[in-house]
Amino acid sequence: MGEEVAVGECSWLDHTGPALHLLEQKPSKKEAIQVSNYCTKYSKTSEQTNPNAALTMDLQSFRKPGEKTFTQRSRLFVGNLPTGVTEDDLEKLFAKYGKASEIFINKERGFGFIRLETRIIAEIARAELDDHVFRGRPIRVKFATHGAALSVKNLPEFASNDLLEEAFAIFGQVERAVVIVDDRGRPTGKGIVEFTSKPAARKALDKCNDGAYLLTAFPRPITVEPMEQFDEDEGLTEKLINKNQQYHKEREQPPRFAQPGSFEYEYAMRWKALMEMEKQQYEMVDRNMKEAQEKLEAEMEAARHEHQVMLMRQDLLRRQEELRRMEELHNQEVQKRKQAELRQEEERRRREEEMRMRNEEMMKRQQEGFRTNFSENREQDMMMHMGGHGLGMNRNSLVNISLKKHISNRAIDTKVSSDVCINPSNAHIERNPNIYVHK
């Protein structure tokens, strides 16, 4: 159930007729007054039917689905306030329109601000209270200037309200973002963005002017400017014009068509010629700008194609370079394997050579050991043989015999070695151990 407040003489419980019309489009002052009169009439009828029924206002009925509440768009300026008016007095004056979120009064200058829940409620309050006599003075009620509103131009073709809000949400909280369309619903390339605070709007303005902010893939930056705000509803009423001497001089003549041949007709035609020239200049500038834009778009498309070709070429070169590096790495791996195999082969040969040398050394030692053992055995046999015959040899004779035997063996070894070096085929000749030299 929506929020309900007492409204005195007006009830908004019925949502047919003017009330429904207000929900569907922006109401004018005349339409708002019609709704007010309709509700007053309904209030009296309801009061006759049920005298004890409270007269209430269903604020929920004046909220559009998803509409944000208490925004800058529902903020009203109240001027020509009587002296001594307080915030409580202003709140009571607007009590029938629901709870207010902001009430401010400048007592010295006699004006104030109040923010209502929705734009439609503010429209109704403005229509009813503008020029309303409050404590003997007619007050002035109008919408306050939105200090955090920006005008956005050069919007891309496929920009929407949602995209526009998303794009500007990075600068601060957005109250409203609208892409302006023509009477056929086609985008005009212009939009409005309203922030909740002035610092956020200033940040967006500075960032977009210093840089190039793109909303879509189309590389044309948007243009952001402070929004020029106009009063297209009330305009300038006669009572607000300063009635000075210049006013009376200008108003001496009523609206009329200049008569041909008269002084004012001559200069009126010259003014028309000047305005026509201005119009033609603007049209020529528009044509030149359109041609320049089309030329820039064509150059951009050509540059985009060339850029894509360049990127493809760079990608191809990068792939070729990667293949070359992979091939180099493969060749290096193959070379490393070959070097490792060569080192293994050299190591194998070295081990075989060491093995061969060890075998030769072992055989040589075995041969020397065989000759030594043979000589010792032969000496023992000779000593035993000589001792068996009972010869009276003394110790010196035995020593001489051993010495001669040693000399004889050395001579035989030298002879055999010489024969082997001169004729290797004689290497198989075995020395006759029975050959001895006796003196």
Q: Round to whole Å and give the CA distance between 439 and 434.
A: 16
Residue 41 has which token pair?
A: 């009439």
Q: Please, are residues 154 and 220 in contact by the beta-carbon 8 Å criterion?
A: yes
The residues with which 111 forms a beta bridge, in sequence order, are 79, 106
What's the pLDDT at 230? 86
Q: Please, are residues 28 and 234 in contact by the beta-carbon 8 Å criterion?
A: no
Residue 193 exposure: Cα atoms within 13 Å on the Cβ side: 35
Query: 241 φ, ψ to 5°?
Result: -80, 140
* CATH architecture entry for 149-228: 2-Layer Sandwich (3.30)
What's the pLDDT at 3? 42
What's the pLDDT at 12? 39
Picking from 410, 406, 408, the residue whose alpha carbon sits closest to that of residue 436 is 408
β-strands 75-79, 102-106 pairing: unpaired
> What kind and span of H or E run contains 114?
strand 111-115
DSSP for residue 51? T
**pLDDT digits over 242-252, tens only?**
899 999 999 99
Q: Round to whole Å and give the CA distance between 7 and 57.
A: 6
What's the pLDDT at 404? 56
| Angle at alpha carbon of residue 96, lines to 90 and 102, rounded to 5° | 45
Look-up of token digits 């091939």: 327
What is the third-level CATH fold of 4-143? Alpha-Beta Plaits (3.30.70)
Q: Please, are residues 86 and 134 in contact by the beta-carbon 8 Å criterion?
A: no
Query: 138 φ, ψ to 5°?
Result: -75, 120
Ranges of the chain whose pLDDT falls below 50 = 1-24, 38, 40-56, 390-393, 395, 399, 414-439
Centre a 10 Å sphere on the Cβ of residue 100 and count the other Cβ atoms it contains: 21
> What kind and span of H or E run contains 265?
helix 263-388
